[in-house]
Amino acid sequence: MQRLTVLGSTGSIGTSTLNVVARHPERFEVVALTGHSQIDLLFHQCVQFMPRFAVVLDEVAAARLRVMLSDAELATEVLCGIEALEQVSALPEVDTVMAAIVGAAGLRPTLAAARAGKKILLANKETLVTAGAVFMDAVHASGSVLLPIDSEHNAIFQSMPHNYSGDLQRSGISKILLTASGGPFRNTPLDALQNVTPEQACAHPNWSMGRKISVDSATMMNKGLEVIEAHWLFNAAAEDIQVVVHPQSVIHSLVQYVDGSVLAQLGNPDMRTPIAYGLSWPERMDAGVAPLDLFKVATLNFQAPDFERFPCLALAYQALREAGTAPAMLNAANEIAVAAFLERQIPFLYIPRVIESVLDVLPVYPVTSLDDVTAADAAARRVALEQIRLIT
């Protein structure tokens, strides 16, 4: 029996995780669920999975959830706040933590899971982007098993040698080929991008996801964050990671070897596949995903990324090369700019402009502790908000 904490259980990854878990009641027990808003959904999840703890972020939501649970005569205890998120990530009775909070807010609880030596199913890529060095140190120090859930990194993980030790050259790997759908604006000309709406940006052609990551896919910042994520997960330099635009999202990424072999993982675009792989690793189990019908897919296309129409991708490579606090600042500025775009305060094409000005203005420092990351994150948010105020 594997005992789970699901951080961000009310989100897109969180609900897909519980969907997979519900297919295998004999294998999993849910110990803790957490959600920010959507208290009704969190309550229904408590009814279905009867966790020991449910965590929310504010006292008002906690009080409401407590009433609902007590009316339903459920024993789930409601906790509140960031410390509670850290607490349920490190509980002695928990084996595995699904890290599926969105944004830098996921960092502290995910780090708590690493420090407690949990098996971590990592969806929250922002943890690696902002605090990759600190997080990977914690993983290595505690002996945590870290399994990537982001579909591309899960595919890379599946296509790598089983004993991969963090040395691409020694494993005969010449390149990581990170596929990208290109998002909803893959073929949209630059001048038309000026007027796109949040609704258009969130309408992803292949994947159904939360709003923040959907906008990230539309700007291709998502792929930029994933390049940085791949850097930390596989100890790969920026030049070892090639982005390949592949509109069908059937090949989830590839690993190219020195002998000319290229290994890939394919499947329908459904996050339950990487989630089930993480949950059952090193075994396999049913994920409820339809088998891939290659005859229906028929064609697979590939093209090089367009750094001019998608400057966010270039900014992410730049931040990775600058290292230190640069990726944390890139991520924070992006979170602020995306939120402003979703609230219709800035046009789509201002997202990269805000990020670029933050990276231009602020100095880059080395990262030796979580405090370095938190300070850089706060400074970048402040400058990004100033830039947005100048525009609006």
Each residue of 255-278: b (16+ CB within 10 Å) or e? Answer: bbbeeeeebbbbbbbbbbbbbbbb
As a whole number of angstroms, the distance between CA 98 and CA 32 comes to 10
Q: How far is the CB of 196 from ligand NAD (least distance, A)?
A: 20
- How far apart, in whole angstroms, are the C-alpha atoms of residue 199 and residue 278? 32
Pick between residue 9 and residue 76 the one whose CB is nearest to ligand NAD. Answer: 9
**Residue closer to Mg ion, measured from CB, 96 or 151:** 151
Residue ranges binding ligand NAD (CB under 6 A): 8-14, 35-37, 57, 100-102, 105, 123-126, 150, 207, 209-210, 212-213, 271
**Residue 201 in contact with residue 347, Cβ under 8 Å?**
no
**With respect to Mg ion, which residue has the nearer C-beta, 150 or 356?**
150
Binding Mg ion by CB under 5 A: which of 29, 86, 126, 150? 150
Q: What are the strands of the beta sheet with 241-245, ordered from one edge?
A: 241-245, 173-180, 251-257, 262-266
Which is nearer to ligand NAD, 88 or 254 (by Cβ)? 88
Stretch that binds Mg ion, among 68-76, 85-93, 148-156, 353-361 (CB under 5 A): 148-156
Residue whose C-beta lies closest to Mg ion: 150
Q: How far is the CB of 354 from ligand NAD (least distance, A)?
A: 19
Residue whose CB is less far from ligand NAD, 207 or 307: 207
Q: Which residue is nearest to ligand NAD (CB)?
A: 11
Establish if 335 lies at the interface with Mg ion (CB under 5 A).
Answer: no
270 binds Mg ion (CB under 5 A): no
Q: Are strands 262-266 and 251-257 parallel, antiparallel or unpaired?
A: antiparallel
Instruction: Give the C-alpha separation, 307 to 181, whole Å.
Output: 15
The residue among 152 and 270 lying less far from Mg ion, judged by its C-beta, is: 152
Enter the tokens of residue 175: 């390149």
Q: Is 29 in the site for Mg ion (CB under 5 A)?
A: no
CA distance 285 to 375: 42
Supply the minimum distance, in Å, between the C-beta of residue 103 and ligand NAD.
6
Strand order in the sheet with 2-7: 77-80, 53-56, 28-34, 2-7, 96-99, 119-122, 146-148
Tell me how far, at minimum, the Cβ of 16 lies from ligand NAD, in Å: 8
What does DSSP assign to residue 93? T
Q: How far is the CB of 151 from Mg ion (least distance, A)?
A: 5
CA 142 to CA 249: how far, in whole Å?
Answer: 35
Which of Mg ion, ligand NAD, none has residue 249 at its interface (CB below 5 to 8 Å by kind)?
none
Q: Rule CB under 5 A: which residues touch Mg ion?
A: 150-152
